[in-house]
């Protein structure tokens, strides 16, 4: 099957190309060759004639989106509209990547796919906008909401913690946001599974379990032999970030389980795999002895 992946150079896109490349004809597109906010999007999809488009391209800088909500909407909502319209023209299915930030985090229990969205930030609103255009425009679609992505490729929280830990710390990390860290490679495999079963609808897909960013940081440092580096908990408000974040955005992978699919492994196991994969890329910082 031919699959077009947008955002192919991003954290998830790299993993999608690696995973879907086994058994499928996969074409990846990204900036600067393809900007999804331009009419080139229609041409790229028409020329490729894919069976599915996996749309992972997005402006993911949450604070940047808060400072420039128009640009957030242009890329994440209107860019998605172009991708969805192009899918309709060629009859391709569309997998759209969305986020736990569509929720306000006030539910106090894991979110179901059917829970009402209530984004707190411009980024969250722009991704909700993307979801709405996908449902309205794409002929066949799956919306995959995920959270707290980390992978061996690209910049992410795991790498930042290891780099800061290797510099000796001390670290201060928020302990009043709880979510589900998710390994980009595991998510790419889950998307491959959805495609192989031709499943449509809205799915929450994360690694199993949840934690605060502070607990995540401690687990990361322990795993790389830097448990001695002090990690002090702090409140989100102390950070003074422009964009509000949901305090509790754990996603119940309910539709995934209802479709008979196996839950993704617990995030601590996925973390071990990511660190091993990162090590093979040789850019894991030299670690201190325990």
Q: Does 35 bind ligand NAP (CB under 6 A)?
A: yes
Q: Name the one range near ligand NAP by CB under 6 A: 145-153, 228-236, 271-279, 280-288.
A: 145-153
DSSP lists the bridge partners of residue 179 as: 211
Which residue among 53, 58, 188, 270 contacts ligand NAP (CB under 6 A)? Answer: 58
Q: How far is CA 169 from the centre of its chain?
A: 27
Residue 175 Cα distances to 20, 212, 264, angstroms:
36, 5, 24
Shortest spacing between CB 289 and ligand NAP, in angstroms: 31
CA dist 124 and 76 (Å) reads 10
Residues with catalytic roles: 123
DSSP letter at 242 equals: S
Q: Name the one range near ligand NAP by CB under 6 A: 33-41, 162-170, 253-261, 273-281.
A: 33-41
Q: Name the one range near ligand NAP by CB under 6 A: 9-17, 195-203, 228-236, 253-261.
A: 9-17
Q: Does 79 bind ligand NAP (CB under 6 A)?
A: yes
Let me know: does 11 contact 151? Beta carbons within 8 Å.
Answer: yes
Structure token pair of residue 242: 């422009």
- When the beta carbons of 8 and 275 are compared against ligand NAP, the nearer one is 8
Which residue among 56, 102, 152, 217 contacts ligand NAP (CB under 6 A)? Answer: 56
CA dist 173 and 234 (Å) reads 6
Shortest spacing between CB 193 and ligand NAP, in angstroms: 17
Q: Does 80 bind ligand NAP (CB under 6 A)?
A: no
Let me know: does 182 contact 149? Beta carbons within 8 Å.
Answer: yes
Let me know: does 151 contact 159? Beta carbons within 8 Å.
Answer: no
Interacting residues with ligand NAP (CB under 6 A): 7, 9-13, 30-31, 34-37, 56-60, 75, 79, 97, 99, 127, 146-149, 154
């Amino acid at each position: 099957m031919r699959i077009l992946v947008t955002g192919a150079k991003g954290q998830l896109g790299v993993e999608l190309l690696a995973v879907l490349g086994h058994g499928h004809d996969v074409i990846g597109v990204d900036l600067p060759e393809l900007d999804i906010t331009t009419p080139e999007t229609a041409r790229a999809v028409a020329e490729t004639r894919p069976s599915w488009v996996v749309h992972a391209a997005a402006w993911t800088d949450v604070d940047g989106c808060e400072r420039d909500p128009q640009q957030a909407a242009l890329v994440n909502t209107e860019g998605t509209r172009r991708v969805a319209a192009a899918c309709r023209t060629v009859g391709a299915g569309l997998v759209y990547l969305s986020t736990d930030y569509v929720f306000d985090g006030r539910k106090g229990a894991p979110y179901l796919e059917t829970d009402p969205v209530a984004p707190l930030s411009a980024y969250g609103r722009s991704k909700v906008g993307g979801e709405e255009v996908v449902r309205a425009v794409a002929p066949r679609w799956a919306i995959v909401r995920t959270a707290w992505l980390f992978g061996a490729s690209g910049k992410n929280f795991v790498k930042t913690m290891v780099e800061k830990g290797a510099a000796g710390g001390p670290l201060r990390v928020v302990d009043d946001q709880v979510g589900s860290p998710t390994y980009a490679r595991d998510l790419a495999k889950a998307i491959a599974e959805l495609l192989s079963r031709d499943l449509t609808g809205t799915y929450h897909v994360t690694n199993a379990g949840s934690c605060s960013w502070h607990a995540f940081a401690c687990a990361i440092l322990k795993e790389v032999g830097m448990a001695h580096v002090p990690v002090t908990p702090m409140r989100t408000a102390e950070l003074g970030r422009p964009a509000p974040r949901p305090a509790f955005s754990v996603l119940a992978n309910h539709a995934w389980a209802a479709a008979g699919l196996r839950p993704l492994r617990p995030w601590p196991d996925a973390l071990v795999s990511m660190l091993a994969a990162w090590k093979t890329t040789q850019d894991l910082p030299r670690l201190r002895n325990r």
